[in-house]
Structures are given as C-alpha cells and as structure tokens.
Chain A
C-alpha cells in the first residue's frame, strides 16, 4: 500500500469530522429542553447556518494552501497582531478541550462510577489523549472510519431495540415554536457542536496542498447533521415530553431498552461509544492547541509537525530523532486537566452556561474572528486571491 504516513485522505478527514461531532450529538439535551419535539429540525437549520461559517474557513484555507489557522494569522496580521489573534484561538481550543473533558468526567462520575472522584476519571482520560498525541494525531484520524462505524452501529442497534417502545405521535404537533426559541435552537446547534469544526482548520494542511478542504468538511458536517436529527427523533419518540426534562436524553432512551427481559442495560454500549468519541474530540482539540502553541512560541511558520508528504518520509524523521508529535504535549495536558477541574463548580452551572452563554462565546471565535481575517485578506491581498483562484 502506497499510503504516505503522516498524511490523511479526504475520506478520513470527513469521518473525523463526523466522530468529532458525534460526541456532542449524543449529549444533545441542551437544545431539546428549549425546542422540545421540534429539536430534530434544529439539526438541519443549525447545519444550514453553519454553511456560511464553513465558507469562511474554506475561503481562508484556499487562499493559503498548506497553512493552518495560526500560520494564516501571522501572514495576514503580521507577527504581533497575528499572535494576539492566535492567542484568542488557542484560548478557545483549550477551553473547549477542558469543557469536553469536564463533560466526560461528569458523565462517567455521575452515571457510571458515582463514588470515584472526577479528577481520577479525567486524569486517566487525558493520559489517553496525551498518548494519542505522542503517537501522532494522524493515526487517530486513520481510525476515524472505524470509530464512525462503531458509533453508527451502536446507534442503529439501540434504535432497533427501542422500536417496540416508540410512539411516533410524540413528534406532533410540528413546529409549535416561538420565533425566539427557533433562533435560539438554531444558533445553539450551529455554534456548539457544529462550529467547533474550527479546530479542523489546524489539521487540514495534513491533507496536502493540492487537495480541496471544503468538500470533506462539508460532507462530514452533513453526515453529523443527519445523525443528529435521527438521534433526536429517536429520543423524542421514545421519551415524549420527558425528553425535555432528563439531562441525557440518549442515555435515558437506551436505558429503556428491554427486549424479552434479556436484552437490557444497553447503556454500557452508549458509555463505551461516548468515551471513544470524547477521546477523539478532546485529542483533536488538544492537538489544535498544542500545535498552535508550538508555532506561536517558536515563531517559525512551520515547525515540522507534519512531515511534508513530498519531502522526507516519516521514518526518516523518526530516525533523526524528531517526533511527529509537537512538544509541550504533557504540559498542555496537565493544564487542561486543572482547567477542567475548576471550569465549573457543578453540573447545573455547566448546563446553564451551555444553554445561555456558550453560543455567544463560541460564535465569537468560530465566526467573528475568521470572518474578520477573511475580510482583511480580501481587502489587502486581492491580487494574491485572484491568482489563487485562477
């Protein structure tokens, strides 16, 4: 097989996006409490709202092929202002990593191991993430297809087992939303799971210079939106109005599985899948953070994180003692560990933040800053942009 190690294919990028989203999809309680039986539609409108955001990213990435977000900042805004902007992105990545770590900790400590301190859970989890980064993020991305199959398989099996308990009429009446609720639901979906695709702007250079980045990202998002809509529909027709008051609708629906008194307690499958997907997500966020940090601190535009596919092979790099993983992994993981411990005092605070502040917090980084960058690019480098397009 003539696969160049250290680089990824568009297909792997697409499934990586899917895995990245899926962790949040399975915890979709945050919008269902607002938009109730119409939440499934929010997955679609949220996806549509993400399209302009995605267009901004591809616009930026296409103008600077082979560069990631932090490098683009340096080019567009110069070394000083670009670094300040990059610092904002890094803050966003590390915050997301900490928030997701905390979510996982809350889930495991709350539902599975109530007597284990959350720190023990998140520490072991983060050690797993650090190991992933040391072994090279591209290996994780090669596995994305497998993880997607596992996630979809688990979803399908659980849904089939629930078929005898569902009541489709819970979906009706359709679209009884106030306009404000509709906007809130759409923006939440666009900002919280979907817009987090921003982290992939640090990874797309791994595709190689000649590959288009827009298509795999778009397809990955579309796949995630579809699965999100399906998961939400499944939860609604299983739980009815209960869906709006339980904290983890998917988890509760799977707990309800009981077929002939034998096939019960399926939530362990859900838990395993959720942990894998969270590992995937946090690893990617951590990678984005660590890579950005290294680039910022070293001041070099390309610190050989990803071996150039056209240049020396990965093994040669290894032989010369260079690691494929950026430095600072362990220290970043330690930082995320402590950050995740104090980021929220309680689950209630976490939920409240997720429902009220998170969309605005996220959209600032996901949409506002990249859009400004693109605007500056268009105004300052019109010639280069035209050149690229031609």
Chain B
C-alpha cells in the first residue's frame, strides 16, 4: 500500500516536473521572442549611419576654379539655408531676411580633399545628392576637366543628371549672382537650363552626356557657357555660347548662332524664333517643331559625305509690315527665308568646327555606326580627316499657321 502510494507520488511528481520543464521552456521561448522583438524595435529608429536633416548641409550647386597654388583647385559649394527658404520676402517669419544660401569654399589638391577640409570649418557635412549644377571655370576647363568629372561620377552620392556648365571668368562668382525671382542662384541656373528648349540657342548638357561624348574618342564634347553681366551695379548670370572640348581640355567657343547650328545638326533644336527681313520690313517666325537626321553617305569614289535633312515647321508670329503675309506667294518667300536662315546657322557652326578641328556634331560616331570598316581607317587621324568631310544640307520648311490674325494690323486697314 505504502509502496503503491510512493509509486503514484513519484509518477505525479515526474509528470509535474515534466510539465514544469515544458512550461519553463515555453516561458523561456516566449521571453526570447519578446527580447528579439525589443531588439528589432531598436533597429527601427535606424540610428546606424543616420543622417538627420538638421545635420546635413544640402548642396545645390558646385563650382570648381583653379586654385592659387600650382596643382590645386578651389571647390565652392552652395549650401541651402532651409530656415530662410520658407518665408517670402514680404512676410515676417522667423527668418532674418538674409540670403537663403551660404557659399563655402576651400582650395586643395583634389575635390575630395577640399570637401573633407570643409568639415573642419562647417558643423554640417556637405551632402551632394541634391546637387543641381556643376560649373567649371573656363580657366580650369582649359587646363584639365578630368578630375572634377571623375569624382562627380564615381561618388555614389552625386548624380549623373546634374547640369554641367562652363563659366567665363571665375565660377564661384556665378553662385554669388543676384537672384530676384528665385532665392538660390544654383536653382536659378538649373531652372534656366530647363528653359532653354524655347530658344534653341544653348546646348543643355548633363554630366552623363558630357561623359559619353568624352568617352567616344572622336566627338568633341560641348558644354554651355554662363557669364555675369552687370545692371544697376548688380551682377546677374546669363547663358551665352558654348564651350568646345577636345581631349579633356577646352579649346574654343561657339557663339549663339553657331550653337543653334549644332542643335540643328544634332536634332536637339526644338523651338525658337527667326526674324527675317522682307522688302516691306521684318517678320517674326516661330519654330514650332523641328527634327533632323544626320547620315553618312559613301560616294562613288569611296569618300564619305554627311547628309543632313532638317524638317522645320513654323508659324508666323509677328508681322511688322503692312503687307499681308498670308497670301501664298509671301508664304513661299518666308519659307525660303527660313530655310536660308537655318542653312546659315548650320554652315556657320560647320566653319567654326572645322577651324577648331573639333567634331562637335558627332560625325565620327555616325560614320562609326554606319561604316565601321571605313571608320577603322579614318579614326587614326580623325583630326585631319574631320575638316575634310563635306556636308550636304537639305532643309524642308513648312509654315503651318499664322496665329490669330489673317491680316496685319495696319492703320486704316478696315477701309
């Protein structure tokens, strides 16, 4: 009887201990899962490599100048001052009414060295992911543009769709221009670049486009130029002309008509105006659409010529004369004038490109694509070959609309 009781007690005890240990295990497991959840919550705030907005110096524009020591360059970064941005000029907010940006600058052997040196003077780290414009000074561009290009393309923070410009004079001064409609010069210039479609007188070049042209070997990269002008004692920036590069160095410039010529050839001209002289006075035509096609053609004697076809569609946008420009004879005359105008743009650019011996149109790439075998023979001395390449230009002009008036506004025109 006693034995039996001991046996039963032992069994109960054993069962109890088993269930206890199972419970323990379950409890430990729950505790473990709970701890893990706490740990995961800690991860959520992502304190590792955290970058808070108030510790960043957001760079919107960067310029590179030649440094005062040999082999150095000056980096100037335009940092946005967020507290000044929010308030308008008339409202009284928390802002002190000062500039919405700060330009920080340092001269050192390389771009990265200058960026790092700046951390000794600024409490915030420069953050380049929102950089919108990259301006090289003409002086630096004439020496070497490679270093700036490499570092701005290699770094993971910077982007390749930043606008590239070359300044006449010191580049850092461009970022100090007076801005009236915008608050930040870099934004002004970047939006300016977005606006150039409507005049077709400026090449719009991103870092990617420039790098592609540089890598090609035959093409001469181009970049728009920006300069300061003075008005009422204040300095403002404007876009003017194009810089031409060869082998990583700036070798010359194109004026605005020649720039338009490049845009016609490379199918980048979109819109613009043409003022033509007629026997009665000036008439303004607007280019609505245009497209061009550049093709190398091999002649019977084996020489390669370029064949350029440009289609332009325009509209009469202004008539300063008293003559009715909507009658068919006048439309035909205007079309002819428009064609001549486009042709003279293209030819002007071609002459300048030949003088510089710089393939700004991408003839070399076009020949490479169409006639790879001939290209193998030509590419060795492309500098000598390029000026000899002839170009046939065919222009098809259309005037499709006359705007809102069928006849000009002339004094006494109602009688």
Q: Does any Cβ of A come within 8 Å of B212's Cβ?
A: yes
**CB contact under 8 A between A116 and B159, given known A176-B372, A242-B215:** no
Q: Pick the residue among B49, B160, B369, B372 that contacts A252 (CB under 8 A).
A: B160
The answer on a CB contact under 8 Å between A240 and B212 is yes
**CB contact under 8 A between A115 and B49, given known A173-B368, A173-B369, A241-B215:** yes
Of all chain B residues, which has the CB nearest A167? B212
Q: Pick the residue among B48, B161, B369 that contacts A169 (CB under 8 A).
A: B369
Within 8 A of A (CB), among B147-184: 156, 159-161
Q: How far is the CA of A173 from the CA of B375 in the complex (A)?
A: 11
> How far apart are B51's CB and chain A's nearest CB, in angstroms?
9
Q: Does any Cβ of A come within 8 Å of B216's Cβ?
A: yes
Q: How far is the CA of A241 from the CA of B156 in the complex (A)?
A: 19
Q: Does any Cβ of A come within 8 Å of B211's Cβ?
A: yes
Q: Pick the residue among B48, B156, B212, B370 that contacts A242 (CB under 8 A).
A: B212
Q: How far is the CA of A35 from the CA of B175 in the complex (A)?
A: 42
Q: Does any Cβ of B come within 8 Å of A201's Cβ?
A: no
> How far apart are B245's CB and chain A's nearest CB, in angstroms?
16
Within 8 A of A (CB), among B107-161: 156, 159-161
Task: Find chain A residues with CB under 8 A from B368 CB.
Answer: 173
Q: How far is the CA of A14 from the CA of B194 in the complex (A)?
A: 46
Q: Pick the residue among B48, B211, B215 that contacts A115 (CB under 8 A).
A: B48
- Which one of A106-114, A303-311, A335-343 is at the interface? A106-114
> How far apart are A271's CB and chain B's nearest CB, in angstroms?
12
Q: Does any Cβ of A come within 8 Å of B208's Cβ?
A: yes
The answer on a CB contact under 8 Å between A242 and B211 is yes
Q: Does any Cβ of B come within 8 Å of A256's Cβ?
A: yes
> How far apart are B224's CB and chain A's nearest CB, in angstroms?
18
Task: Find chain B residues with CB under 8 A from A364 CB.
Answer: none
Within 8 A of A (CB), among B1-60: 48-49
Of all chain B residues, which has the CB nearest A172? B369
Q: How far is the CA of A63 from the CA of B160 in the complex (A)?
A: 54
The answer on a CB contact under 8 Å between A256 and B160 is yes
Q: Does any Cβ of B come within 8 Å of A239's Cβ?
A: yes
Q: Does any Cβ of B come within 8 Å of A255's Cβ?
A: yes
Q: Pick the residue among A120, A169, A173, A239 that contacts B372 (CB under 8 A).
A: A173
Within 8 A of B (CB), among A257-275: 258
> How far apart are A241's CB and chain B's nearest CB, in angstroms?
4
Q: Pick the residue among A240, A245, A255 that contacts B159 (CB under 8 A).
A: A255
Q: How far is the CA of A113 from the CA of B159 in the complex (A)?
A: 16
Instruction: Give A contacts to B, CB under 8 Å.
Output: 110-111, 113-116, 120, 169, 172-173, 176, 239-242, 245, 252, 255-256, 258
Q: A113-B48, A114-B49, A242-B211 are in contact. List 5 more A-B contacts (CB 8 A).
A: A116-B49, A241-B215, A241-B216, A256-B160, A256-B161
19 residue pairs A–B, Cβ–Cβ below 8 Å: A111-B156, A113-B48, A114-B49, A115-B48, A120-B48, A169-B369, A172-B369, A173-B368, A176-B372, A241-B212, A242-B211, A242-B215, A255-B159, A255-B160, A255-B161, A256-B159, A256-B161, A256-B208, A258-B161
Closest 10 CB pairs of A and B: A115-B49, A172-B369, A241-B215, A173-B372, A240-B212, A173-B369, A111-B156, A113-B49, A258-B161, A116-B49
